[in-house]
Amino acid sequence: MIIMNFNNTLPVILSLIPLVFGAVWKLSNGKFTTHKSMGLVAIVVLAGGLVYMQSAFESEASMLLLASAILLSAFCAIISQDNTQEALATHASIMIVLGLSMGVLLNQEIVSRVFLCGLLGLIATSLNRKQHNTYRTKIIFLHIILAIIFSLGSAFVEEDLQMFSGLFLAVTFLPLAPFHLPFVGRIKDAKESLSSFWIVVWIIIGLGELNRIYSGLTTEMLFILSLLALISAVYASLAALGQRFNSLFVASATVAHVALIWGLLEVFPGFHKWGISFGITLAFVMGGISLAFSFIRKRYGWKTLGILPGLASPMPRLGVAMVLLVSFALFLPLFPIFSGLIDMPTIVNSNIEIGMVSFLILVVWLGGGWYFIQMLHQTAFGEARSDVPYSDLRLTEFVAVSALLLGAAYSGMIH
């Protein structure tokens, strides 16, 4: 009985550690080095807790893997921070989001849903504080309120309603058009490295939600989701081609590639064998691109693609990071296909499904090749401006981007 109680209590304790740190930092001032050191120590403690849970409690391996991905992203977001006044608020936000997301992944049933409601409430509060009265923001706010209701209700309703609630949460956090607006809005409004961290957290939570409901998806549901994935991929690819702002570009590219996960559910069974590893790879690559962009925004206030071309020459570390990230991104559609074919046979049942999935892969691959290469030419290549005092990535910034790249390589090629 004591072991069972500790099994249930430890995930809550691990989730509360960063949450308490973040809440205290939000309400009080402190030294930058103290916040940074304590944040890194908290991440190490959480990592040790995950290792202990895996060895002692036989916790679900997929959920621990997802939690580890969020920890790595939090580590990268913290070590890349420079000593500024904004960094203190960023540290606090990272720790709060880390605690809430760990609570969602590590806990069961009602406790997990309480943490998810806290995460959704944090997003809704940030929208409300900005006092945007646009029609789009009102839709996002209503979407989040519905997600909170479904999240709480799913713990008390019948099995059919639980499936519907879980599916709504899954298409929200693994964003499919037209359920992608909260994701795009959050990435657009996030500052500095928080944008990168939110990309990883958002996708990881979505992978966890899809993993919960995957076994209950019917053939009819999978077909509808495949069709919706195709529409979402076309829409998001066109949106990425037309984006001028780097944050919206990354958000649109992420939505386009997430469609692959939904589209391939009907092709390859065993989502936990290929989908989770691909989703983590996608999150790390898109998070890495967003993190690299945040370093430039921090230096020059740059938000529009094309304003600062030729960065690879005066900033070689950034140039190497961008080329590697884009090169990795260009081959993203291949990872779930190879993983699916290696681990299990395809189970496509009709020519319609084969054609739909093939077209989806083609849209994402060709679209990604187009807008990623265009983005690379607008930033890394070309002639550098003579009126800009270029400053290359610091070692900690380069380490942060490299860690995300290594994480993507491990998840996509080895795991």
Predicted confidence at residue 1, as pLDDT, reads: 45
| 347: number of Cβ within 10 Å | 10
- Name the residue among 284, 282, 267 with its Cα closest to residue 368: 282
- Range in 126-135, 270-279, 308-317, 377-386 with the lowest mean pLDDT: 126-135
CA distance 403 to 398: 9
- pLDDT category, 343, cuts 50, 70, 90? low
pLDDT tens digit sequence for 235-251: 999 999 888 888 899 99
Query: Which whole number is the average pLDDT over 385-392?
Result: 80
Q: Please report, for the chain, how many H helices and E strands are present, in that order.
A: 16, 0
Is pLDDT of 294 > 70? yes
110-124, 258-272, 297-311, 321-335: which has the highest mean pLDDT?
110-124
pLDDT tens digit sequence for 103-112: 999 988 889 9
Is pLDDT of 3 > 50? no
Residue % of the chain over a pLDDT of 90: 40
- pLDDT category, 199, cuts 50, 70, 90? very high
CA distance 401 to 321: 7
**The CA-based dihedral angle spanning residues 375, 378, 384, 385, taken in that order and rounded to the nearest 10 degrees:** -120
Is pLDDT of 404 > 90? yes
Average predicted confidence (pLDDT) for the chain: 85
Q: Are 60 and 271 in contact (CB under 8 A)?
A: no
Return the amino acid letter for 228.
L
- Range in 56-65, 293-302, 319-328, 384-393 with the lowest mean pLDDT: 56-65
Predicted confidence at residue 101, as pLDDT, reads: 96
CA distance 316 to 321: 9
Predicted confidence at residue 229, as pLDDT, reads: 92
As a three-state string, the secondary structure of 109-173 is HHHHHHHHHHHHHHHHHHHHHHCCCCHHHHHHHHHHHHHHHHHHHCCCCCHHHHHHHHHHHHHHH
For the question of whether the overall pTM of this predicted structure is more than 0.85, the answer is yes
Is pLDDT of 2 > 50? no
CA distance 293 to 140: 25
- Name the residue among 17, 78, 16, 10 with its Cα closest to residue 50: 10
- Range in 225-229, 271-275, 352-356, 401-405 with the lowest mean pLDDT: 352-356
Return the amino acid letter for 61.
A
pLDDT tens digit sequence for 138-168: 899 999 999 999 988 776 767 677 888 889 9
Whose tokens are 């961008």? That residue is 322
Instruction: Check residues 415 and 226 and name the one with the higher pLDDT.
Output: 226
Is pLDDT of 82 > 90? no
* Residue 16: both structure tokens together: 């509360």
- Name the residue among 262, 212, 271 with its Cα closest to residue 63: 212
Predicted confidence at residue 4, as pLDDT, reads: 46
- Convert 147-172 to b/e letters by CB count within 10 Å (16 or more is b): bbebbbebeeeeeeebbebbbbbbbb
pLDDT tens digit sequence for 19-41: 999 988 888 777 888 888 888 99
- Convert 79-95 to b/e letters by CB count within 10 Å (16 or more is b): bbbeeeeebbebbbbbb
CA distance 202 to 208: 10
